Amino acid sequence: MNIQGWTLYSVLLSSIIFVIFCFVTDYVGGGSNKFSYILCRLVARHIKLAFWLVVGEILVWLTALSFLSRLGNKSKQKGGGPQSEKLAGFLNAVTFPVQCLVYGVLNLLGLVAVAILFGQEQILDSYHLHPVPYTVAAAILYLLWLGYTIRDLVKSEITSRGLMPQIEALHSSYSDVREGFDAEQRDALWKSCCNLVESRDADYLKRRRAIWSGITFAVWASMVSSAYFALPVFLSWLATGYTSS
């Protein structure tokens, strides 16, 4: 095996391990205050998005094909004697409301699936004629999803780092004043210190999350851009190794 083969297997193995780690991080993540966790969870969210898009397309096709096959099937009469016909008629009369409900829902889903496939076909035909508007619309939708996902991940991972020491330090700075306070006044002072620290921390936390959201977006954009230019070169290098052998 040449160096291209070893590189390919190493990249595949590393990618599988990395993807597993990303999914584990996304499953148990939260409150880590680590930028690496945000990136790993962002990778996992992209894989989940692609997975659900593929699953949704498969379900649409299966639903549409099932609906069309039901339309093409013709009921066949089966012999069995008068007793069987009476029993079948009785069961059909008893289950008729349920049959109407079930087949009604299935037919409605089938019509929706057929309409989706027809709409996809129209969009593809229109895309070949006017690709720019659809590309811009897809990019806008992706950026909206990306912004929401980054905001959600940063909000989950970037949290406060221990407010209690800050509250105690502020409360200790009023040690001379609180000596003449009674129990109710001391409680009021403690609550005031808590509210002040939490309000300051809320503003600081909001700024931290905004900064980390911008950093995450910039890093992800640079990673995607690098992959866009580097991946064709890497694939062509791998192809040269296999064609030469």
User: Does 56 have pLDDT greater than 80?
Assistant: yes
| Alpha carbon distance 153, 3 (integer Å) | 38
> What is the per-residue pLDDT across 121-168, written as a single tens digit (0 to 9) for each?
999 899 899 899 999 999 999 999 999 999 999 988 887 766 667 777
Which range (15-29, 88-102, 125-139, 204-218) has the least confidence?
Answer: 88-102
User: Does 67 have pLDDT greater than 90?
Assistant: no
When pLDDT is cut at 50, 70 and 90, the band that residue 236 belongs to is confident
158 touches 212 (CB < 8 A): yes
User: Does 82 have pLDDT greater than 80?
Assistant: no
Of residues 204 and 224, the one with the higher pLDDT is 224
Tokens of 99: 């049959």
Neighbours of 228 (CB within 10 A): 9
Neighbours of 197 (CB within 10 A): 20
Q: Tell me what pLDDT residue 244 has.
A: 61
| Mean pLDDT, rounded, for 42-60 | 94
238 touches 5 (CB < 8 A): no
53 touches 234 (CB < 8 A): no
Q: Tell me what pLDDT residue 239 has.
A: 81
User: Does 238 have pLDDT greater than 60?
Assistant: yes
When pLDDT is cut at 50, 70 and 90, the band that residue 86 belongs to is low
Q: Tell me what pLDDT residue 58 has.
A: 94
| Mean pLDDT, rounded, for 159-185 | 75
Give the closest residue to 209 by CA, choosing from 35, 45, 39, 74: 35
Q: Tell me what pLDDT residue 2 has.
A: 76
Of residues 244 and 122, the one with the higher pLDDT is 122
| Alpha carbon distance 177, 166 (integer Å) | 18
> What is the per-residue pLDDT across 7-39, written as a single tens digit (0 to 9) for each?
888 889 999 999 999 999 888 877 788 899 999
Task: Report the mean per-residue pLDDT for the chain.
Answer: 83
